[in-house]
Structure 1
Amino acid sequence: MTQRRAVLAAAVDRLRAAGVASPEHDAAELLAHVLGTTRSRLPLVDEVPAAALATYDDLVARRAAREPLQHLTGTAYFRHVELAVGPGVFVPRPETELLAGWAIERASALERPVVVDLCTGSGAVAKAIADEVPTAVVHAVELDEPAHAWAARNLAGTGVELRLGDMATAFEELAGSVDVLTCNPPYIPLEAWESVAPEARDHDPHLALFSGADGLDAIRVLEQRAALLLRVGGVVGFEHADVQGESAPAVFAATGRWADVRDHADLAGRARFTTARLAR
């Protein structure tokens, strides 16, 4: 048996030395996971059994090697829903909750909204919308087979219609009828490879990360697909990199098809997602 405080302190030091951005949080989450409790209830634990300590040491070592925390626990939380995640799927980020919130607000204003989520990944945005707007008819698509398998697991029983396919050709039968369209596309320029955090670069699917020389290739495809799928007056929202606060909206503004093209900042004040309304 080893005292919890000493175990946590050693883990925090190890994660901090490895460059993990949130060592205190991650050390506590991993220990709570091993002990079958929650982070808020850890203060009730005085001693860590030897068997649990061995498991914990292994997980801390893997986190220090920059394996994503969510891969180690198998779970990610997104707004009010829980998601199963692991190798082969993009781990949803807290910043994307803002895009989901925008879509939920727009869909909630309609009686029976038709919603499409392109590049659904783990199914996070689609699941959140289905959870918070139960009257919505939600469709989602994912191109990558391993990610699609995770989405199928997460969206089972939600009523979301999930397809395996390319966003460039998906949901042809819905043309002109969609009210709200969301997308968290790949948007990292290929030349930015070295600047990507190891957790993403080494563990997230590259199909979910990189998008051509300027990072805007998928957003250009999205603009064309959104123009086809949305009804006139329907709205689209999509995430982008913080350095694309001007270039991403410009993809939509340049076509003349969109009104109310505006960019939105995240809670840290960084450019994060663009929204637009189909004008014609």
Structure 2
Amino acid sequence: MTMTLNAAWRSASRRIDRLDARLLVEQVATCTHADLIAHSTRTLSADQLCRFEALVGRRASGEPLAYLLGSAEFYGREFVVTPAVLIPRPETELLVDLAIERLRSLPNARILDLGTGSGVLAVTLARLCPGALVTAVDLSPAALAVASGNAVGHAVEVSFLAGHWYTPLGESRFDLIVANPPYVAHADPHLQGDGLPYEPRIALTDGVVGGDGLACLREIIRGAVTHLRPAGWLLVEHGYNQAAAVRQLLGQQRFVEIGSWCDLAGIERVSGGRLD
């Protein structure tokens, strides 16, 4: 059995979002959107149709589109993603914006990305700050493999280290530390929807039963004091209702110029401070 590209697109659009259906057609047929429009009567082979229908079924079941396509966009660049890593979100781009502002006067800055996942923060900062020395840490070997591949794909050098937060760093100090750690509380109902059951739980929640989701943030903020250079900055992403708590944690350490910044939805999404 075969089917034209247009017919496959129309058929899938009855089960899933029309844009998702189009992207899956293009993925299976290895064609662009322009090809799809110009050659809509081109047929999918039986094997391609079988793969397409399987992908549509997985998307209809709630599996994130990024995992089906094998990539996601972040800060205008395409990154490989697999189920071993969290799918990058647009709100995390705020971390890049804030980091760049603080690195303008530091052309040879030392940057640390904690819990790098797919490496989007480390790789993007390495691209935007070509003189910087970027180090990225993650506990997951599978995530580090994805991140390393993304660094190669974007032609940047990043030092990737395996371990728990600051453990593999010794006495190294940095001008800037960024982190998008697990911050969703263990029992938060949001973990059951929006494709999150397919993403690595270790990247979403600290797993502390009855906790507030701040365990990783507490550890990162405490450890930053001994791993930042004088006047170095720490910037962390957190949950929609955690900004005040994170500012308090920063205030309990040697941080000044403490603040929180809103994402495009007007939600306080990133907090940070400068080491005094």
Q: What's the TM-score, normalizing by structure 1?
A: 0.88
Which of 258, 274, 277 is the matching residue for 2:274? 277
User: Which residue number corresponds to residue 141 of structure 1?
Assistant: 137
| Contact 1:144/1:207, CA 8 A, preserved across alignment | no
Which whole-Å deviations, capped at 9, do the CAs of 1:202-222 have from their partners, x for residues lacking one?
x22111111231000000001
Partner SS for 1:140: strand
Structure-2 change in CA distance of 1:13 and 1:272 (3 Å): farther
Q: Gapped runs of 5+ residues in structure 2?
A: none
**Pairwise CA distance, 1:246:** 2.0
- Give the superposed CA RMSD: 2.0
Please give the alpha-carbon distance, in whole angstroms, between the structure 1 residues aligned to 2:255 and 2:72. 34
How far apart are residue 79 of structure 1 and its match? 1.4
Match of 2:204 in 1: 209
**Amino acid in the other structure paired with 2:238:** H
Residues in 1 aligned to 2:169 and 2:108: alpha-carbon distance in whole angstroms: 18
* Residue number among 94, 97, 101 corresponding to 1:101 in the alignment: 97
Q: Does the 8 Å contact 2:4/2:44 carry over to 1?
A: no
Q: In the TM superposition, what are the counterparts of 1:12-27 in structure 2 within 5 Å?
A: 12-15=13-16, 23-27=17-21
Q: Report 1:1-280 matches (<5 A).
A: 2=3, 4-15=5-16, 23-39=17-33, 42-51=36-45, 52-156=48-152, 157-175=155-173, 178-193=174-189, 195-201=191-197, 203-211=198-206, 212=208, 213-253=211-251, 255-279=252-276
Residue 277 of structure 1: CA displacement? 1.0
Q: CA deviation at 1:251?
A: 1.7
Deviation at 1:6, TM superposition (A): 4.5
Mapped to 2, the partners of 1:247 and 1:12 lie a distance apart of 44
* Superposed CA offset, 1:24-73 (max 9, x none): 33222212212223346533332251324333222111111111211111
Contact 2:110 2:132 in 1 (8 A): yes
User: What secondary structure is seen at the aligned counterpart in 1 of 2:111?
Assistant: strand
- Tell me how far apart the structure 2 counterparts of residues 139 and 215 of structure 1 sit (CA, whole Å): 25
What secondary structure does 1:179 align onto?
strand
Tell me, yes or no, if the aligned pair for 2:80 and 2:150 is still in contact at 8 Å.
Answer: yes
For residue 66 of structure 1, give the secondary structure of its aligned residue in structure 2. coil
The code of the aligned residue for 2:236 comes to F
Unaligned 5+ residue runs, structure 1?
A: 16-22
Measured in 2, the distance between the counterparts of 1:257 and 1:12 equals 54
Moved more, 216-225 or 144-153: 144-153
Q: Distance in 1 between matches of 2:19 and 2:224?
A: 39
**What is the identity, as a one-letter code, of the residue corresponding to 2:179?**
C
Percent of matched pairs sharing the same residue: 33
- In the aligned structure 2, how far is the partner of 1:49 from the partner of 1:107? 51
Contact 1:107 1:136 in 2 (8 A): no
Q: Supply the AA of the counterpart residue of 1:159.
A: E
| Matched residue count | 268
Deviation at 1:5, TM superposition (A): 4.7
CA pair 112-50 structure 1, distance change in 2 beyond 3 A:
closer
1:109-145 deviations in Å (ceiling 9; x for gaps): 3121110000001111000011111111100000122
Q: How far 1:274 sits from its partner (Å)?
A: 1.1
CA distance in 2, matches of 1:99, 1:196: 26
Deviation of 1:256 (Å): 4.5
